[in-house]
Amino acid sequence: MFTSFLQFLQTLIFYPFLLPFLLFALLFLYYNTLSSSTSTTKNQPPSPPKLPIIGNLHQIGPLPRQSFSSLSHQYGHVMLLHFGSKPTLVISSADVAKEIMKTHDLLFCSRPRSLVTNKIFYGCKDMGFSPYGEHWRMMKSICVMQLLSNKKVQSYRKIREEEVGLIMEMIKKSKFSVVDLSEIIMTQTYDLICRATFGRKYSGKDEDGIDFKELLLETMELLGVFSFGDFIPWLSWMDRIKGLTGRVERVAKELDQLLDKVIQENKNRLKNKKSMNDVEFDDEGKSAKNFVEILLESKWENEVSLPMDDIKAVILDVFAAGADTTYTLLEWTMTELIRHPRVMKELQEEVRKIIACKGNSVLKVSEDDLDKLTYLKAVLKETLRLHPPAPLLVFRESLKDVKIDGFDIKAGTHVFINAWEIHRDPTFWEEPEEFRPERFLNDSSLNFKGQDFNYIPFGAGRRSCPGISFAMVNAELMLANLVYEFDWKMPENGVLDMDESVGITVHRRVPLVLIPTPYYS
């Protein structure tokens, strides 16, 4: 979100004619800025000194969670920043996070609109970025009840196991050569979501030259790009000059074209099934429909008033949250396992011991085995602690004036909860920078379902992630098979780069490249 602001100065170099105008604007608005900052008598949270117009934007680096963390050590765990004209509350304490996401959850359950979310998610008609209200409640009900319920997640077991099996065979064919594990993990999660959502995979470019996977990656990148118009409305023209507006419009248009085709394919398939009385069933005899089919049938049967743009927005939600979260989690888990051979060895011993006890020749770990893999679950929990996929969660907006931790917070204030910092709080976590899965074995009651505010990788309250079950069962199955089927090592003279990417979710900056050696029990 803030990275492109650093490019603002570079923009002035290439467009020097903008500098006089900006200087004039700064002088013109400086008095108003000073007046507004001194007119309030309310008890506001501590705040760093701000500059006219841009506020505190100049203090935020390419990794905002680290910038917030550094500032919070100086100004406190409840801190007020100003991003342009937008007051922004940054929370770095579990107790205050609980106030936001539980005590006053209803007052902080809305989302501010942005250039990117408004364009790509059809006016924020999805669930993830929709402002709080009746529309959001309807969309959440559809997602939770019809798309992401435990029964529905279980109905995709066959697809999960097939996709993991394909990945294992792909790795085996590498024959001890270097593999790009980041790309492999991303492909598996993308293909799984495609099959569950659309009923089939969408690989490469279509006849119009549109590559869905590349579009989704670009969408996730755009969600982390700074927009002048979002924070300094009168500078929104800068978004067009630097190419952001055009890029967002192109991505939104191409996504819409592809989703139109996908929806039409599913409409045709549903009509054929109905005319032939041909219904697919899963292993338990339950109807195995993909997400698009479920949404279309809900529309046709008048269960809900669901416009086509809403269906498209929800589809994008499923991809943005489901694929990216699982991919990020698995990528960082394998990274930490390579860094910590002791943990890798203990995890492999657990998985291989349980599979050996099955007493058959089945090599692949199935979902029936996952409940027995307690150390594997602890490893994933510890990865989520150190590397939460969305380290600042998804920012919120206050609906009314409210007191938080004794401070007065105005309606319309944006709120960032720095889960990355909370997960490293030494008052709760012993040796917080260390990767120690055992901490979750010692406290098995600690979970990521939003009840423990020291540990909130998926958020909490009304706006917590509803797809936890879908993401975690895939992550557990994939990880169990990766460590069972293969031993892993770095290439000769390889260096394990721990640098992070920039964006709303945090991937590795460089791909994870490893050498697999098949394991034979």
Angle subtended at Cα 425 by Cα 424 and Cα 426, rounded to the nearest 5 degrees: 105
Query: Rounded mean pLDDT of the chain?
Result: 86
> CA 121, CA 114: separation in Å to the nearest integer?
10
- Cβ–Cβ under 8 Å, residues 161 and 364: yes
- Here the tokens at position 492 are 């000769």
Average pLDDT over residues 84-95: 95
What pairing do the DSSP bridges indicate for beta strands 513-518 and 414-417?
unpaired
CATH no. for residue 48? 1.10.630.10
Average pLDDT over residues 497-517: 89
Share of the chain above pLDDT 90, in %: 58
> CA 468, CA 464: separation in Å to the nearest integer?
9
What pairing do the DSSP bridges indicate for beta strands 86-91 and 414-417?
parallel
> Helix, strand or coil for residue 21?
helix
Q: How confident is the model at residue 491 (pLDDT cuts 50, 70, 90)?
A: very high
Q: What is the pLDDT of residue 11?
A: 53
Neighbour-count burial for 328-364, b at 16+ CB within 10 Å, e otherwise:
bbbbbbbbbbbebeebbebbbebbbebbeeeeeeeee
Q: How confident is the model at residue 16 (pLDDT cuts 50, 70, 90)?
A: low
Q: How confident is the model at residue 305 (pLDDT cuts 50, 70, 90)?
A: low
pLDDT higher than threshold 50 for residue 38: no
Q: Using alpha carbons only, how large is the chain's radius of gyration in Å?
A: 24
pLDDT higher than threshold 80 for residue 503: no
Q: Select from 415, 433, 435, 416 the least CA-distant residue to 424.
A: 433
Average pLDDT over residues 101-113: 95
Q: What is the pLDDT of residue 348?
A: 96
Q: Select from 375, 338, 382 the least CA-distant residue to 486.
A: 338
Element (H, E) at 232: none
Q: What is the pLDDT of residues 217-239, one digit of tens each?
A: 899 889 888 899 999 999 899 99
Q: What is the pLDDT of residues 361-406, one digit of tens each?
A: 444 789 999 999 999 999 999 999 999 999 999 999 999 999 999 9
pLDDT higher than threshold 60 for residue 109: yes
Tokens 């492109």 identify what position? 4
Q: How confident is the model at residue 323 (pLDDT cuts 50, 70, 90)?
A: confident
Element (H, E) at 193: helix 181-198
Cα 346 to its chain centre, rounded Å, is: 29
> CA 376, CA 347: separation in Å to the nearest integer?
6
Q: How confident is the model at residue 22 (pLDDT cuts 50, 70, 90)?
A: low
Residue 83's Cβ-side half-sphere holds a number of Cα atoms within 13 Å equal to 21
Domains: count for the chain = 1
Q: What is the pLDDT of residue 284?
A: 45
Residues linked to residue 56 through DSSP beta bridges, in sequence order: none
Report the predicted TM-score, pTM, of the whole model to 2 decimal places. Answer: 0.88
> CA 97, CA 99: separation in Å to the nearest integer?
5
Who's near 189: CB < 8 A, 6+ residues apart? 322, 323, 326, 327, 330, 474, 478
- Cβ–Cβ under 8 Å, residues 481 and 364: yes
> CA 434, CA 416: separation in Å to the nearest integer?
25
- Cβ–Cβ under 8 Å, residues 104 and 95: no
Q: What is the pLDDT of residue 359?
A: 54
pLDDT higher than threshold 50 for residue 283: no
Average pLDDT over residues 257-286: 72
Q: How confident is the model at residue 448 (pLDDT cuts 50, 70, 90)?
A: confident
Neighbour-count burial for 95-117, b at 16+ CB within 10 Å, e otherwise:
ebbbbbbeebbebbbbbbbbbbb
Phi-psi region of 53 (alpha: psi -120 to 50; beta: other; left: phi over 0): left
Who's near 19: CB < 8 A, 6+ residues apart? 12
**CA end-to-end span of the chain:** 48
DSSP conformational letter for 289 = -
pLDDT higher than threshold 80 for residue 253: yes
- Here the tokens at position 125 are 């008609």
Q: What is the pLDDT of residue 347?
A: 97
- Cβ–Cβ under 8 Å, residues 91 and 417: yes
Q: What is the pLDDT of residue 362?
A: 45
Segments forming the whole domain that contains residue 337: 3-518
**CA 31 → CA 34, 221, 229, 235, 455, distances in Å?**
5, 36, 22, 18, 43
Higher pLDDT residue, 17 or 437? 437
Cα 338 to its chain centre, rounded Å, is: 24
Angle subtended at Cα 291 by Cα 290 and Cα 294, rounded to the nearest 5 degrees: 90
Q: What is the pLDDT of residue 285?
A: 40
Q: What is the pLDDT of residue 384?
A: 96
- Cβ–Cβ under 8 Å, residues 113 and 131: yes
Alpha helices for 123-156 (secondary structure H): 134-142, 150-154
Q: What is the pLDDT of residues 139-156, one digit of tens each?
A: 898 888 878 888 888 888
Burial of 369 (0-12, 13-18, 19+ CB in 10 A): buried
Q: What is the pLDDT of residue 50?
A: 93
> CA 276, CA 382: separation in Å to the nearest integer?
50
Q: Select from 369, 379, 355 the least CA-distant residue to 435.
A: 379
pLDDT higher than threshold 60 for residue 312: yes
- Here the tokens at position 339 are 């860094």
- Cβ–Cβ under 8 Å, residues 283 and 158: yes
- Cβ–Cβ under 8 Å, residues 100 and 415: yes
- Here the tokens at position 110 are 């809305």
Higher pLDDT residue, 319 or 256? 256
34-43, 199-208, 351-360, 500-509: which has the minimum mean pLDDT?
Answer: 34-43
